[in-house]
Amino acid sequence: MSNNSGPSSSGELTVGTRVTVRIDEEKNRLAGVVVEDFANEAAKAGGQLGRDWAPVRRWGVALDDGRLVFSDDIAVEQKKA
């Protein structure tokens, strides 16, 4: 799990960064905050899982509506101030 303590000023996603997440094929976006970065776990899992029906996602995001979602880099972007 990550040891990051807050949003990055460089525009890089870190724990604590406000983001928008694309949650479906229609490109609907919801706002939230990154609560965990699972990059290390995703890298370890790689092809070792022996399945493709539940892929490991990098980012844990707490949405403003109370839901927790897990997303890949392509679906998460830093929210503009």
CATH of the domain at 53: 2.30.30
- Threshold 0.85, pTM exceeds: no
- Phi, psi of 38, deg, nearest 5: -100, 30
**In total, how many domains does the chain have?**
1
The model's confidence at residue 79, banded by pLDDT at 50, 70 and 90, is confident
Integer angstrom CA distances of residue 32 from 14, 21, 23, 54:
13, 8, 12, 23
Say if 63 falls within a structural domain.
yes
Between 5 and 59, where is the model more confident?
A: 59
Say if 2 falls within a structural domain.
no
Q: Which residues of 21-38 are buried (b: 16+ CB within 10 A; e: fewer)?
A: bbbeeeeebbebbbebbb
Say if 10 falls within a structural domain.
no
pLDDT at 69 over 90: yes
Between 79 and 42, where is the model more confident?
A: 79
Q: Compute the average pLDDT of residues 16-36.
A: 90
Say if 8 falls within a structural domain.
no
Say if 13 falls within a structural domain.
no
